[in-house]
Structure 1
Amino acid sequence: MRAMVYRGPYKVRVEEKDVPPIEHPNDAIVRVTLAAICGSDLHLYHGLMPDTRVGMTFGHEFIGVVHEVGSSVQNLQPGDRVMVPFNIYCGSCWFCKRGLFGNCNNTNANNYAVGAYYGYSHTAGGYDGAQAEYVRVPFADVGPSRIPDWMDDEDAVTLTDACPTGYFGAQCGDIVEGDVVIVFGAGPVGLYAARSAWLMGAGRVIVIDHLDYRLEKAREFAFAETYNFTQYGDIVLEMKKTTDFFGADVAIDAVGCEADGAFFQHVTAAKLKLQGGGSPVALNWAIDSVRKGGTISVMGGYGPLFSNVKTGDLMNKGITLHTNQCPVKRQWPRLFDHVRNGYLKPGELVTHRVPLEHIAEGYHIFSAKLDGCIKPLVVPTAV
């Protein structure tokens, strides 16, 4: 098969690899029909994620057709069209039984603190991803679901990570009716979080970014007020002014550690690798922008350690901090209803369809924020 292969920071290419085999009776092999490049894939692309090994295939957002199933698989059969959550989970451990699918205890032998995800370095289990023609799906009776007949493919693929993660980010904000919500970052997750905040009763939604085309999308898709932080001497002061110096009720950090290589690169004195920490600028802005007793939801990707986070302010203001990897399948029942009823159209954020053979260019366009790119999809050549 043809697959995207990592060859070092900023170096990806398409190569021939063996079609993955069934390794366990619970496995399925899925022929990928659509995948996506996620903002968190850029951590890998930029060389910021520990133990990203040469030869790995990225890609944790994908849909496809079941090609082969292991002898123990009961819920799927060849020919089924499926959408697959980015979490790889067993469904039976203490965490899975409580719906914490991103915290599964049985799928990542490499790191106790991190769950397992497709195509996301050996820190996240070492599983190859789906920016390829075929992908192995472990625990095939647990994660994948058949795509409803009424659902568009572009909606389905964005529902495997980005949209549920944004929705989960709004959930983690404990939004109540009338709340003022600030979202830092107008990438796909931030935009989905901003749109979802309205579904949870927000009275006002503000999105902060530095790219005008993404802020335009925030106004169009998420119906949000927008601020370009480069146009203000102190964006935190501006947020205080616009909330009568009270602060927002909820802040959502949808940025994380230097996800695009430019957004918060070099803002702090030191540029740190993820294994040591990272730039916490967005998180500190969130801490400073919420009111006392407010809530912060962190959906941005960080490494094992933060650096220079305002922990004292976090404590003294009585701020509640919620964060986790999104348990995607737990969000699907509500999100499916929202999509079917017309309240949400996740595929509206898709801006580019990149042939697998041109994936290096796709990564460059997405990383450099060229051509108005917000959400790029990958189209395998086998389709």
Structure 2
Amino acid sequence: MSSLPQLRIPATYMRGGTSKGVFFRRDDLPEAARVAGAARDALLLRVIGSPDPYGKHTDGMGGATSSTSKTVIIAAASVPDHDVDYLYGQVSIDTAFVDWSGNCGNLTTAVGPFAIANGFIPAERIPQDGTVTVRVWQANIGKTILVHVPVRGGQVQETGDFELDGVTFPAAEIVLEFIDPSDDEGDGGSMFPTGNLVDDLDVPGVGTLKATMITAGIPTVFVNATDIGFAGTELQPAINEDKAALAKLEAIRVAGALRMGLIRTAEEAATRQHTPKVALVAPAQDYTSSSGKRIDAGSIDLNVRAMSMGKLHHAMMGTASVAIATAAAVPGTLVNLAAGGGTHDAVNFGHPSGTLAVGASVARIDGQWTVTRAVMSRSARVLMEGWVRVPPA
């Protein structure tokens, strides 16, 4: 048994949107962990406390949910006209696996404040009072995100009265702009990788389902909640405690990944747990959120429930919110039809914790739909800063 002292690595524990994770400056990591590979993955797994067969993350910084088992690495920008590179690692809870296949839109919110506080933004760009726009290169998917961070007294403003469903306390509002957020990965090289707004998706063991498959924000498979026996107003226990439902939803995810060209065989899905997402859509209905707040159908455009790392998300992923807003803006998608059809520059949708408003700008060019930007408001704050300690490998 090793008796060597633990590694001591500078880190910041931050909440961004409805997620939280451990943030690192890349140059603070041990040299072997500054590049992709087994050493980096092993370090981040140990930081979070995975794999944990008990599902608790007692011996790490993770929170044993997909929203709290996250890591972020920030570096000086490698792309001109950007401020920082943002690399996101989704850490599996019960397996030795870090998924680098997508972005975390929620934690993107915290990237701007982290960049300002850690010296990535020149002092002359930081006003005494005002807003700093941090231009972020999202390195996982190769996209630009603008994070508009409020500043007071020359410091990042963290406190405020902006309320975000899924987060207990109010904070300062941070506006996110996702620029050209369509991910062209997979077959077809378009926002709708199958070339269709709605497909008949054959799912082994489930049947044939109507599905909208889109790559805006994050690859997402949308299906009608009622087609698989749900109302679209479910909270976490209704799905996460139902093993048959989880197996059905995973089968949909695998079938969608194959149809979108994200994987070549069903077996590959195990090495790509973060993407694609599966989301259930339904017309607006009254329901009671997980906090006990009553959501009236008249206050929302539709209901959406989304899966993350094999479980129903407690609120909504930021990247999936981009997919929702984009699909809602395109007439004829399942999301658009659930929202009543027509045109939608923005939607306010219901999720398990409450509601969220997101806007998207789309256009049809040469017969192909494209999205130029998506906008939403979130909040972020530092929870703890200092060093994480990790036993040596």
TM-score calculated relative to the size of structure 1: 0.29
More helix by share: 1
Normalization by structure 2: what TM-score?
0.29
Higher share in strand: 2
